[in-house]
Amino acid sequence: MKIAIAQINPIIGDFNHNYDKIMNFADRAKQLSCDLIVFSELVITGYPPRDLLEKKDFVEANLKCLNKLIESIHGIGVICGFVDKNPGKEGKGLYNSAALFENSVLLHKVKKRLLPNYDVFDDGRYFEPGLSCESYTYKGRRIGVTICEDIWNDRDIIKKRIYHLDPVSLLIKDGADLIINISASPFYVGKNRLKTDMLGSIARKYSVPLIYANQVGGNDSILFDGLSAAFDQYGQIKARARDFEEDIVVFDTEDSKGFEENLHSISGSDTESILKALIMGTRDYATKCGFSKVVLGLSGGIDSAMTAYIATKAMGHKNVLAVSMPSMYTSRENINDAEKLAKNLGIELKEIPIESLFREFARLVSPSFKESNPTVAQQNIQARIRGTILMAFSNMHGSLLLSTGNKSELSVGYCTLYGDMSGGLAVIADVPKTIVYDIACFINSEKEYIPQRIIEKTPSAELKPDQTDQDDLPPYEILDPILNGYIEDLKGIDELVEMRFERSLVEDVVRRVDQNEYKRRQAAPALKVTSKAFGDGRRYPLAQGYTGIRGLGD
């Protein structure tokens, strides 16, 4: 059987858009003489639809779209994800489902059995789990269809299984000789290696071909890398779609000769994949929210430089406005670097000095203000003036304001509410500072887009004379491993100390992370590229007394 794997970028709730995409890819698959085309999880609604699932008309529109597809597509079989109703009197009212249809006939339906309820996933909030795993005979093959999480519970691969059953093994017992998994599996750096190894191992373990169709694109903070693939019965990858863009690849279950043409190129490193993810995520967030232009502050530092580069690649240089807002503490070097960067990228740069505004503002609220030694409150006034100016440009031009802070700063609260945190999207807020430098060097390996001096200079907020980040923070090469251990790996203080960090330093960093949860709750959505990002996937109370520094009785 010749199978097309369709990797498309749906828009949540835009049923006309998603219908047209599905029709277009089905036509392409027919032109390639395919027998079957496989789409991703909930492709009709887009994933994740979240509380839109509580709207009856949303569910009905999804079913109407499915029925229209069944009536419209002929000459090829289709597997696609949709939302089905639960007609029973008990349980949740919906199923996360997949349909197999051909020539106006619905042949088979599958209900997702394993419903994740961790990190960014909320399947258990909306869906009732399916109760059975049944394979289906189609064109001489016994197909076992699984939906995303259903394939993530193999006892030989998953060290800590959180479900009591394995749908894949049950389908194999039911006679399946071809496993198809439709997914909306979010990206985080390093996940692709784990996923490829797992899928190949499952195919090899059961000696069956395995098809994996994944969503691509950005929906809010969540990014999907695609990388749909097909594995033969030996676990060898025989088809692979590109990462971070729509694609279609073909796999023949009976003949794998010439498969190399269906191994499409992908990122060559984690650094490249993060950059691609951020560009795609910025583009999709802006355009799916109705923005065609973006605006950002350009300080001459590396974070705003990186954000400007990403914005330019995502939106086009004519659709990016950068604003330089120097104060009396801004160095001529930074002003020049911002100008050079804007020229390199071909984006418009406006300069609006804030010195007079800041002096007047500071003296009004703080008569004892001294320029030579501004307090933290007076430093924050500068950031808030800049945030106000940027929001004014956003309002005037209908542009999306991009905030430019990184994950290291956001983690410890080295940022200003209603100031540099202002914005509609936080582009690099899940990228640690050390990784920002890695990406900048990768960008410049092609051409010096980011002036080398920006990469080499000591980072500074420039809110007081001779200020550097390391006046208030440990060096980033020390800070970032502590943050990674505490936030992503969930290590406690003792475990972090065992990593040879000073206890006083660890306790200070942990205290800062915990105390600044209130800031992060008010931050713009951040594009998720690590295994544990701030936002929906990390839910901590604001009002709480646990610090992890002292236990009961200490």
Catalytic positions: 41, 112, 148
- Are 509 and 412 within 8 A, CB to CB? yes
φ/ψ (deg, to 5) at 146: -120, 160
* C-alpha pair distances (Å), 235 with each of 208, 210, 211, 242, 362: 8, 8, 11, 19, 66
Question: Is the separation of the CB atoms in 182 and 149 below 8 Å?
Answer: no
| Closest to 358 (Cα-Cα) out of 379, 343, 376 | 379
Q: Are 195 and 185 in contact (CB under 8 A)?
A: yes
Q: Which long-range contacts (CB under 8 A, 24 or more apart) does 537-540 make?
A: 537/119, 537/120, 538/487, 540/514
CA distances from 26 to 8, 37, 220, 316, 552 (A): 11, 7, 27, 30, 61
Phi, psi dihedrals of residue 351, rounded to the nearest 5° = -110, 125
End-to-end CA distance of the chain: 66
Element (H, E) at 227: none
Half-sphere exposure at residue 110, Cβ-oriented, CA atoms within 13 angstroms: 30
Per DSSP, the residues of 315-348 read H-GGGEEEEE---TT--HHHHHHHHHHHHHHT-E
